Chain A
């Protein structure tokens, strides 16, 4: 899996401008899957390869929310990412697709911020004083 800080760096790159297209939308979907994958792995599970409504992202969200109802706070963000992906892929006008893809970048970024923040709060990630490594060492 791509490390979380690399995902964050890539999302920052994408949100700082440049031309966005169908390739961007596809990349964002993969990045979203990776973000959810981190959450699932940190909870000791294996990220599913299944799809839900045609998208692995939605199956991963469902898996990640099992037993953690508050994780549903990013359910619509995942669905919006899928929706924007569909819009971009079906948009014949590249200029319109670029605008939609730019919005999808912010949606993907929100998913990243929410999930990484939640990992930090739950002590599941490698973060400063709540870092899993430090916590485990002290136990």
Chain B
């Protein structure tokens, strides 16, 4: 296993302090259970998603670079782990832009100097997702040996959302062979939860858009997109949709309720963060992984599957 990932800088991002708090709680709990060290980036700021990026992409590059600069220059880390797809994507984009675009570098230098911190240089730090972290630091065999409460009998559809793999050019480490993550058919979450005993169902909408960006401007389209994802998961036979992004997760949960209210369409599939499911498999209690913070209540299903 990759010892490098056993102690990483942790960048939770804004969502994990709000609507995605259960993801924050379960990520930390799983890290502790697996003996992995997460050291939170000091005085971190928003990565610039999505509002700043839409208005001024170079300012977003600077904001993300500041997080990486603190982790690398002030804290001495060579790896930063971001569990949120939006943060992960933005840090990767900043890394790419700072390496390729002189204008982005000039803006980052100017703003870093104004803010009084060292400018981040491309290549100083590696940004990874929570899926990379678990997969590389522990691996499937490591998970199998640590499982106390197998997810056997639980059918899971893994939903990765669209920012984890797109655009492909900012993820040069992906699509590098069988052991690397795939941008067209991501599988790290499938691998991790299968190792924890779950039955992974074939899910064609695993990277499809959930309409997260339209939630406020066009709620009906978002609800229809989410409803379609939920129905596809149910048709695939899933009990649970596993998520790895706080925005996707909140969208799925909230629009599941809205679909019933507005369109009269009820779906029963439960939505849990992959870290919550992994935590349960590692013997943590539902409370310890923040199940009580989810919008939908999965306790009946968890009890039925002997996971609570």
Q: Which residues of A contact B (CB under 8 A)?
A: 15, 69, 72-77, 79-80, 83-84, 99, 102-103, 106-107, 109-110, 113-114, 116-117, 120-121
Contacts and interface: CB of A to CB of B under 8 A. Distances in A.
Interface of B: 162, 166-167, 184-185, 204-209, 211, 214, 217-218, 221, 224-225, 228-229, 231-232, 235-236
B235 A106 contact: yes
Nearest to B222: A117
Contact of B166 (A72, A102, A113): A72
Nearest to B207: A76
Given A73-B166, A103-B235, A110 B208 contact: yes
Contacts of B211: 113, 117
Contacts of B205: 77, 80, 106-107, 110
B221 A109 contact: no
Contacts of A109: 228
A113 B210 CA distance: 10
Given A74-B209, A102-B235, A116-B221, 19 more contacts: A69-B167, A72-B166, A73-B166, A74-B208, A76-B184, A76-B207, A76-B208, A77-B205, A77-B208, A80-B205, A84-B204, A99-B235, A103-B236, A106-B231, A106-B235, A110-B205, A110-B232, A117-B221, A121-B214
A32 to B, nearest CB: 13
Contact of A113 (B217, B228, B235): B228
Contact of A73 (B204, B209, B217): B209
A110 B229 contact: yes
Contacts of A99: 235
